[in-house]
Structure 1
């Protein structure tokens, strides 16, 4: 009995491996638009796809980032300045993309631009702190997608949205987890709506990686700022020892972040170039072995892990 079971599982993975190795033809004729290419995943993906021969349209927030990227890539790659929080900027970038792709349409849209700070306990933050993150990570994704969707549909192409393991399980306060849960919901509805047109939607759910949006120094600086701005009642409730322990936890986690960004960009590339891309990718061993299993655990068990193993105890809870 066990032998049959092992055989079936092995056959399943063999067939999946063979299926996922099939690559889309005529990649050199296909255009891919990527947001957030100044650094991190977007920057590496742009260079990676350029080497693969695709026609990369890279959106950067700054001219400095765009200039550096152009200096590292071939003449095929072209850049545009884009602020995903500004409707006028998105409209201008959309027109720019239309002029480049013409009647071919847009094969790939990668919504990669994102921010993670300020990130702290919810009670330490203001409404504007939430709004700032949601504007980039969720509303920016939605508006960019809505503007470019007709071009993707024309090419029967791909939409790749960058979420996070924190789009599966929320272990910290602030707008980051909320935004990534929103990206998951938007991607799921989009995938079902566009399946009839031959458009495929993939979600990338990375674990923790060392990128520009989660530098430990920046996280600690913003956390200290929010603590300094917190009310006296909040400071008394949590206590300075809580702040110190919380900052130490962030420092410790920062040391175990993976610096191998290609684990993520390889998933993005597969979602764009494979004939049969996956619906979800979870790059990083922490995602596969810790956060993803946690998302399937009973809520009480996840709460216990967060309460007893992750978060320090507030002063008035001791």
Structure 2
């Protein structure tokens, strides 16, 4: 009897959740959404997706060519602006432009999507500047863009959607990328608590491994090789040429498992912007749901065993 009761209660809970998540906010055609990193990947697809749904998309691109290509693929409603999230002046200029566009309506949605992954390599191979380059885009730039536009989001009682990663839950490779995504998670949590009183909702997107420009195989392999060539002889000797070869083999195997269906991620972003009851966190991709997020709840001793098993062996230990 108790088992049947538990099944009924779980079913009612899931039905209620399904019903709540299908409810959308009214007058979407009047709402402005700014998306960063729209030259390619998730940002580019989301801009077109929201534009097709009738929202007023303000697409921030790093390059003029990226902006022109996006405008050509979208409706006249979509507007673009050039934005370098590592430049305070560029952020200030874009903020003034957004304020002029939205007027008294405020900014309904801010999607912090811009990000980079390289330089990445084992931590000892990298310099402070290598870490800073990634952190400036993925974390510090995200924070500055958010702080600059937050008054407009508060005015609209809107949404902030930050793109993190499953690598903000578990970290098994070096460089600034995983560090930055852990930071995005922490910033989003504190911001969500602070903004509750203002009616602003903050969501985090945690994609698994998807095929985008930042996961481009050739670019990432060239990144590894160029870093290796610059290493001091003592470090090369400690790791060994075979370590680099194993590292690249493991990396290529991972590349074969990427997901090319980017809509799995952009659908989460769209739901976070348009649902009356958005989720706090969205995981996208089978690997996120079935591997990385479950691993993040395991004791460190177990996750260390899993990731060490997948890692190459340095020369001194071979």
Smaller-chain TM-score bracket: over 0.9
What is the match of residue 178 of structure 2? 177
- State the Cα distance separating 1:182 from its structure 2 match: 0.3
Take 2:130 and 2:232, find their aligned partners in 1: how far apart are those partners? 16
What is the match of residue 312 of structure 1? 312
What is the match of residue 83 of structure 1? 84
SS at 1:138's partner residue?
Answer: helix
Alignment of 1:220 with 2:238, yes or no, is no
Q: Deviations for 1:221-242, whole angstroms, at most 9, x for unmatched residues? A: 0000111111111111111111
What is the match of residue 137 of structure 2? 136
What is the match of residue 163 of structure 1? 164
Take 2:252 and 2:130, find their aligned partners in 1: how far apart are those partners? 22
Q: Deviations for 1:97-140, whole angstroms, at most 9, x for unmatched residues? A: 00000010000000000000111100000110000000000000
What is the match of residue 38 of structure 2? 37
What is the match of residue 281 of structure 1? 282
Most deviating of 8-17 and 177-186: 8-17
Q: Which runs of 5+ in 1 are unaligned?
A: none
Take 1:250 and 1:106, find their aligned partners in 2: how far apart are those partners? 40
Q: Deviations for 1:209-229, whole angstroms, at most 9, x for unmatched residues? A: 000111011111000011111
What is the match of residue 107 of structure 1? 108
TM-score by length of structure 1 reads 0.99
What is the match of residue 14 of structure 1? 15
- State the Cα distance separating 1:9 from its structure 2 match: 1.3
Take 1:72 and 1:109, find their aligned partners in 2: how far apart are those partners? 21
Q: Deviations for 1:17-68, whole angstroms, at most 9, x for unmatched residues? A: 0000000000000000000000000000000000000000000000000000
Q: Which runs of 5+ in 2 are unaligned?
A: none
What is the match of residue 97 of structure 1? 98
